[in-house]
Structure 1
Amino acid sequence: MKAKIPRLMFSAFNSGGGKTTITCAILQALLTKGLTPAAFKCGPDYIDPMFHSEVTGVKARNLDVFLLPEGVCRYLLVRNSRTADLAILEGAMGYYDGLGADSTTASSYHLARVTGTPVVLIVDGKGSSLSLAALIQGFIRFRPESNIRGIILNRLSPGMFPLYRKMIEKETGIPVLGYFPYHKELSLASRHLGLITAAEVEDLREKTVRLGQQAAGTIDLAALLEIAAGAEDIRYEDQPVLRKGEVTVAVARDKAFCFYYQDSLELLEEMGAKIRYFSPLQDTALPECDGLILGGGYPEVFARELAENTRMKASLKAALKRRTPCLAECGGFMYLLEEITDQEGKHHEMTGAIRGKAFMTEKLNRFGYITLTSGNHNLLSEKGGQINAHEFHYSDSTANGSAFQARKPTRNMEWDCIQADANLFAGYPHLHLWGNIRFAVSFVEKCIAYRSRKRKENTKK
């Protein structure tokens, strides 16, 4: 099948080039014009889509050609853009940066090629002049059909823009579509050992409105829309999902637990799951449920508040004792342990549903993409089942588990991980369930079995 989806990707030479700020600014400017953009993030990052979602009022999505098959990426792009005027994709890292140091696999360039998406390069104009043209020319010619259709200059003054535009267009033949001056007061902050999430940014709505006003004033939105409209039709195949049966799945969602792929949650809903959100920070008990998902986030930042909510901890521990099916990733896994030691060395008691302790370190541990292979029959997989995943955490634990083997895709590195049995999957790796739908099917089926067992037990009472 084919679909006409106007679309555009914003990428850069490297991380820190202003992609997120300018993407949010353009999303806001498009909304102000009365358009409805669908927002996507290339790669596995959870933080940037939160900002996209805050701007658009609609959940942003992730497209990742390592976590997901190429055909699924095309399908999810089409499916989530059907009711929008255009799709806006924000790249990850540098445009060509993929697996390892010498591959474009899983890069923003890879995704642009797979989806046929035209690219606008965001270029930092501070500290360079003619050298920028050399860098841009190199990016355009580095790989066949780079898809680069335009340039936006970041951190440039109004007075310098006409000079830079004339020089770059003369040297490269690529149109310069505008610029964005530096606004310290509008920058998106970060914390030591982790980015600030959208929910933690003060006056975010006011900031995005001002960013949108800036974009409307200094970026040629009409030219961007023209490039987006010129994108080729996407060839894709539908991905049928079978409804398994009705179950209720409780999902932790608050400032401490906020790392979720929206398409994963909606996949479970298509299979029959009714999602009920709850807050381990604010609520005192789990909602009535047949299954439980504890996503990643920053439990170490909110460890004191989590520790003080003893009623929620007791409710969660009791649910796992009843063998309620539970999927816990990264921060959710940490919450299930006995304790978290924060960056200051303070100890905070967690649920104790799993024996072991989590502690903060000064570096990323086992960072990056991995392939997981199951060593047993468990909540999500039969023995030998595989799914691609990723890890991003400054913490570690004394109880990482051994139910799965993790393998780096580009290096000869393997290790055991994940606590998993028939009703539990808990560990540091993050999964996208569209990466292997059988994992989602298994989770829902285990929830159905638990619900059936629970009803039988209640009937006997």
Structure 2
Amino acid sequence: MSAPRLLLCASASGGGKTTVTCAVLQALMDRGVNPVAFKCGPDYIDPMFHSEIIGAKSRNLDLFFLGADKTRYLLEQNSAGAGLALIEGVMGYYDGIAMSHEASAYHLARVTQTPAVLVLDGRGSALTIAAVVKGMAGFRPDSGIRGVILNRVSPMLYPRLKACIEEETGLAVYGYLPSLPDCTLKSRHLGLVTAGEVANLKEKLHKLAAQAEKSLDLDGLLALASSAPALDPKPIDLPEPVEGAPVIAVAKDKAFCFYYADGLELLERMGARLVEFSPLADKALPEGTCGLYLGGGYPEEFARELADNHSLLREIHDKILHGLPTVAECGGFLYLHRHLGDADGRYDWHMAGAFSGDAHNTGRLGRFGYVTLTAQKDGLLCRAGESFPAHEFHYWDSTTPGADFHAQKPQSDRGWDCAFHSPTLYAGFPHFHFWARPELARNFTAAARRYMQEALL
């Protein structure tokens, strides 16, 4: 049976979606409701807040990666037994790929038939806020917007704004949050700072939750969530799992923390045994490692510590060159370079050197957004000519970015060659979701199984 579900959206980035989402999640956790959280789109960081600090299970729902059927399936699977599935939107509600609504929060709400609540910054607002609400809710006849939450408004102003919005639009207003400067969540170039970096974050979130209990209609939101119809997703056909449970070592620490949890679980369903290790602290790969997964993160911010771990760097260098099946995405790709440095040569840290290239900070966001990757040669993940969706977001570039895939922007003529692909390696800036094409997870696990068998000979 589908859990009650709700999507929080906004008219633009910066409207307070994450703050309100965290406040509601923490308040419901404190009530014992057992919510599960979801983030619309490819962002890794908000789910880290939801899961590592609040303690709610959190997953990504991305229609470009997953398509409608897999999105509904994973929403249903991950919501099983939850008291509420709370989905945080992305950017403005209708903002999708290339000025369309594709892969937007609105698209997700429509595909999953999830009621949406609009989070609006109410500072300095009067009657015009009703026009904004009416325009957002009426922009598409199937907008799914069923209510409003006001952010950063005073207790004195709130009753008048609520009455105005409800009279002019007919939509319910489910409360407000006042301006809470001591509960601000800072941001940086990859979005919100990672959960472990925010001092006293748990205390801040409990303050937000206490305020939510006072000024949000949580019971009304739960009732609205209960009005969502059953999902009834189609079953998803998966490849047969690999036998033998080969060990895939997963880099997991402050430097490497960007993974899709559903993707990791799919590797396990495909037969892998995942063992986490820290490139910052561990001097060697886990015993029995037959595959290596280096996800994204912030290796550049921990470059000194990573460079000082000489024994692990040597082992990873040697084993990759001798055929250890490896997936290295974005930050993991940087780690495999010879050196990390800046364009001015002020610092230069030695890395694993799995290929002859150096990476440097460009000081600006480079290739950004969704792409479709098409393999130009057979390799670890797929055969030449096969494609899968991916995403890029990075301020660094490489002297050797690779050219074994062609990346094509959706609804655009723009494309470029990128990434390395061999029978035992995928390494490049684009990151991807294994559920986008489950054969990728099966192929990676099968390669690890072959490596294990060869090691036993």
Superposition TM-score tier, normalisation by shorter sequence: over 0.9
5 Å-filtered alignment, 1:340-359, equals: 340-342=340-342, 345-359=346-360
1:380–1:439 Cα contact (<8 Å) kept: yes
Alpha carbons 1:28, 1:55 under 8 Å: kept = no
SS in 2 for 1:323: coil
- The residue aligned with 2:140 is 143
Q: Please, which runs of 5 or more residues in structure 1 have no aligned partner?
A: 457-461
Distance 1:59 1:303, change over 3 A: farther
Equivalences for 1:422-433 in 2 at 5 Å? Answer: 422-433=423-434
Report the counterpart of residue 274 of structure 1 in structure 2: 273
Following superposition, the deviation at residue 149 of structure 1 comes to 0.9
How big is the shift at 1:378? 0.4
Measure how far apart 1:193 and its partner are: 6.2
CA drift of 1:226 comes to 0.3
Task: Name the CA distance, whole Å, in 1 between partners of 2:190 and 2:104.
Answer: 24
State TM-score, norm by structure 2.
Answer: 0.97
Equivalent runs, 1:158-237 vs 2, <5 Å:
158-191=155-188, 195-237=192-234
Aligned residue-pair number: 453
Residues 41-120 of structure 1: pairs in structure 2 closer than 5 A: 41-101=39-99, 103-120=100-117
Whole-angstrom CA distance in 2 between matches of 1:253 and 1:4: 32
Provide the residue aligned with 1:328 in structure 2: 328
Question: What secondary structure sits across from 1:264 in the alignment?
Answer: helix
Q: Quick one: which of 113, 122, 125 aligns to 2:122? A: 125
Query: 1:58: Cα distance to partner?
Result: 4.2
Equivalent AA in structure 2 for residue 83 of structure 1: G
Change (3 A) 1:367 1:65: same
What percentage of aligned pairs have identical amino acids? 50
Change in CA separation of 1:58 and 1:29 when aligned onto 2, cut-off 3 Å: closer
TM-superposed deviation, 1:191:
3.2
Does the 8 Å CA contact 1:340/1:358 hold for their aligned counterparts? Answer: yes
Residue number in structure 1 paired with 2:337: 337
Q: Give 4+ residue runs of structure 1 displaced > 6 Å after superposition.
A: none
1:194 to partner: Cα distance: 5.3
Q: What secondary structure is seen at the aligned counterpart in 2 of 1:426?
A: strand
Q: Secondary structure at the match of 2:360?
A: strand
Aligned residue identity for 1:123: L
CA, structure 1 residues 104+192, in 2 after alignment: closer, same or farther (shift >3 Å)? closer
Alignment correspondent of 1:319: 319
What secondary structure, in the 3-state scheme, does the structure 2 residue paired with 1:208 have? Answer: helix
How far apart, CA to CA, are the structure 1 residues paired with 2:191 and 2:93?
22
Decide whether aligned partners of structure 1 residues 342 and 300 sit closer, same or farther in structure 2, where only a CA change above 3 A counts: farther
Given that 2:2 and 2:80 are in contact with CA atoms closer than 8 Å, whether structure 1 keeps it comes out as no
Distance (Å, rounded) in 1 between the aligned partners of 2:409 and 2:341: 28
How far, CA to CA, are the matches of 2:126 and 2:298 in structure 1?
40
Task: Judge conservation of contact 2:46–2:192 (CA < 8 Å) in 1.
Answer: no
Please report how far the alpha carbon of residue 4 of structure 1 lies from its aligned counterpart in structure 2 after TM superposition.
2.8
**Cα RMSD (Å) of the superposition?**
1.2
Q: What letter matches 2:279 in structure 1?
A: P
1:314-350 superposed Cα distances (whole Å, 9 cap, x missing partner): 1211221221000000000000001111487421111
Q: Distance in 2 between matches of 1:303 and 1:215?
A: 40
Contact 1:24 1:55 in 2 (8 A): no
Whether the 8 Å CA contact 2:26–2:209 is kept in 1: the answer is yes
**Unaligned regions of 5+ residues in structure 2, if any?**
none
- 1:200 is displaced (CA, Å) by 1.1
Q: Give TM-score scaled by structure 1 length.
A: 0.96
Cα shift readout 1:16-36 (whole Å, capped 9, x = no counterpart): 111111101100100111110
380-389 or 337-346, which moves further after superposition? 337-346
The 5-angstrom pairing of residues 311-460 of structure 1 reads 311-342=311-342, 345-456=346-457
